[in-house]
Chains A and B, each alone.
Chain A
Amino acid sequence: MTDMTSQATPSPDEKLDSASARRARIMGGVLIALALLVLFGLNVTPGEVATFRLTTPRDAIQVGNLVVPGGPFNMIAAALLAFLGVRQFLRGGAKWTNLSLGIGLAILVMAFLVWATAGKSFSLTGMLQATMVRAVPIALGGLAGVLSERVAVVNIAIEGMLLAGAFTGALIGSLLGGWVGMFAAILVGGGFGMLLAALVVTYRMDQIIAGVVINLFVLGVTSYVSSQVFSEYRHLNNAPTFRAFKIPLLGDIPVIGPMLFNQNLFVYGALILVAISTYYLFHTKNGLRARAVGEHPRAADTLGVDVYRTRYIHVTLGGMVAGFGGAWFTLGSVGRFDENMTNGRGYIGLAAMIFGRWHPVGALSAALIFGFADSIQQKLALLNTPIPSEFLAMAPYIATIIVVAGLIGRSKPPAANGTPYTKE
C-alpha cells in the first residue's frame, strides 16, 4: 500500500460552466424584458380601476366584484418581475429557474388582464368557465397521448382522431341523435387507434409517418364530404348538442361552481376519464404492466406480459378517448362540422401530455393553461383592446411554445417511447 496516493482533496467552490447556469441567465434576461414590457407596454392611465365580476345577478350566492387599481398593480407587477429576473443573475438559481419563469408568466398574465380591463369590467368567472370548456378537447387529446405513449407508441394521429370524432359526431348525431353520435365518435376514434396500432406494432411502420398519414387521410376525407355533401344536404350536418346541466348545491358555489359543476357531458366526461386513467395506470395490475411495456418491453416480455397485445389495447383506448374528445367540437359545442375544425388541438394535446409529464392529471392541468390562453383571446376581443384580434388568436399557440420550450426543461418520456419492439 506504500505506492498509493489519494488525490481526493477538498477544494473551494469553483465556478462551474454548466448548461443550467447559462439557461438561468437567459431566463433572467427574459424576466427583466417582461418587467420592462409591463412597465412601458402595459401602463394604465392613473386612477383607472379594473373591475372583475365574480358572479352574475342570476346566481344563487352573490359575491362582490374584485376591484383592482390598475396603475399601482402593474407597477408592483413590474417590480416583482424585475426582482425575479435580477435574482436569476445574482443567485444563478438553477433550481429555481422554472419556478421563477412560471411565477413570472403568471404575473405577466395578471398585469395584462388588469391593463386590458382598466376602466371597464370583465367577468372573471365567465372566463374561467370558458377555460374549462376549451381545455376539454386538449385534455382528452393529451389523455389519449398518455395512454398511447405510456406503452411507448408515439401518437401523432391524435389530431386526426379528434377530427374524425368531430365529423362522426356531427354526421351520426344529425341522423340518429346526440348519444348515438357520441358513441359512434368513440368507436371511430378507437378504430383509428387500432389502425395506428396495426401499422406501427404489427407492420413496424415509422410511428411519426403512420400518425401523419392518418391525420392527412382524415383531413382529406372529412373536408371532401363536408364541402361536397354537407353543403348540399344540410340536414346531415345539423346535430343536437349536449346542454350544460348544473349539479345541485355544488353548482351554486361562487366561481368554482360555474367552472366545474355547471357544464355539459364532455367536461364531466373528461374529468372522470382523467380520474379513472390515473387510478388505472398507477394503482392496478394492468396499469403496472402497461407502464412496464412502455419503459422496458423486453423485461415485460420475459415475465409473460404480451407486449403487442398491451400496445394494441392501449393505443385503441387512446383512440376512443380522442374520438370522444372530437365529438366535443360538434356535439358539445356548435352542433355542426366545419373543415379542419380541430385546428391543431390534437397537437396542443400532445404538448399538454409532455408538459404534464405523461400523467393524466398533469395533462389536464396543462390543458387548462392552454384552455386559459384560448379563452382569454376570445374574451379580450369583447374588451376592445388595441391588440388586433388575429394576434390574440395566436395566444394558445404562443402559450404552447413558451410552455414547451421554456418551462418544461427536461421531462422524461417512457424509456422505450417511439421504438418498435421485436421479439428475439
Chain B
Amino acid sequence: MSIKLWIVIRREYLQRVRSKGFLVFTLLFPLLVAGYIAFVIGLSHSGSRQQYRLAVLDESGHIFAPLAARLGKIQFHQQAQFLLTSIPAAAGNHAALARMKAGVLHKHFDGALVLSPGLHQVRYYARDVTNFYVLGKLQTAVRAAIQRQRLLAAGLPANKLARLLQPVSLKQYKVTRSGAKADQGQTFALAYVLSVLLYVAIIMYGVSVMRGVAEEKTGRIAEVVLAAVDPFTLMLGKIIGLGGAGLTQFAIWLGCVGLVIGYGMISSNAALQHLPHLSPAVFLLLIVYFILGFLLYATLYAAAGAIISNEQDMQQTQMPITLIQVLSIILIPAVLTSPASLKAVLLSEIPFFSPVLMVTRLTAGHPPFWQIGLSLAIMLASIVVIIRLAAKIYRIGILMTGKRPTLPELMRWLKAA
C-alpha cells in the first residue's frame, strides 16, 4: 500500500470524524430509532387510552348479557373500558338503528353493534372502523358469546361450556443452539432494525463518497490532487477513509444494540429478558457485511460522483443506485416470513441485496455456513469487478467539465483502456 493512499485515507477519515455532523448523528441516530420505536408502539396502543361507549341492538335477545359480562372484564384505569348500552329491540328496529347511527354521529356513542335475530349477521357502525384494538376485542367477545349461545341452543349443558370454550393461544419459541426461548416478535423487530441500520449506514456513507468526489470535481480540487496522486489512489482513499468513518459510527451503533441486549440478558427486568440473543459471530458478520456492502455501493457512488457536473445532477445520478438499495429494504418482509425458503436464499445471494437480506436471515434464522460463505465470495468478486469499471469512469469523469455524459458515452468510457 502506497504511503500516499494512506495520507488520503487519513484526511478523509479525520475530516469526517472531526465534523460536528458526525458527532451529532452518531448520538442522535440511536435516539431517533428508539424514539421511532416508542412512537410506533405508542401509536398501536393509543387505541386503548380511552373509554368506549357502545350501543348494542340485540335482536336475538341472548347475547347482550354475556357480551357485557365479557367486555366488562377489560379494565382501564381500574374501570371498565367498554360501556355497553342496550337498545330495546321491540321499539321498531329501523327507527332504533337510525337513532343509533345518529347517536354515533353525534358522539353520544363511539360505536353501534347490531346482532340479527338468528345471529347470522353482526354489524358494527362507528365513526372510526380502523381501530384494530377495539375491533379485535369486539370480534373476540362477540364471537365467543355467539358460539356459546349456539352450543347452548344445540343442547350442551351450560356447566361444560366454560371448559369447552377455553381459548387456545399459540406460544412462540425460537429454537437456537443455546436452547429454545420464548419469542413474541422481538426477533422480527431486531432483524428489521439491524437490516435497516445497515441500509442507513451504507447509503449514508455511500452518498458521502459521492458528495466528496463531486466536491473535488466541481471545486476543481481533483486537478490539484491528481498532480500528486493517481486517480485510483484518490478514489480508493476516499472510499476507504469515509468507509472507516462509517465503520466507526456503525460499530458505535452496534455497540448500543449489543449493550441493550447484554443488559437484557443479565437484567432481572422481565421485559428486557425477552430481548433476543445475538451471538458474537453474528455481530462479526454484521460488520463484515457492512464493510463489503459499503465497498460495493461506495464504488458505484464514487463513479456517480465523477460524472456529476452540478448539484442538480446529483439526485438524478444517484437514483438508480439508491433504488437498488431501497428494493433490498422492500424485500425484507418477504425474506423474514420464510428465511430459509429458496426465494429467500436466492435473493440474499444477489450481491446488491446480500448486505441487507443476509443480515435479515442471520438474525431471523440460521442460514447454513456455505450460504454465508457463498454470499461473501460473490460480493467480493463483484467488488473487484465493479472497482475496475468504476475506476475507468472515475478517471475520465473526474476531469471532465460540462454536460453529464450520456449512457452510450459511459459505455464508451468503460470500453476504453
Q: Do A and B bind each other?
A: no
Q: Which positions in A face B, CB cutoff 8 Å? A: none
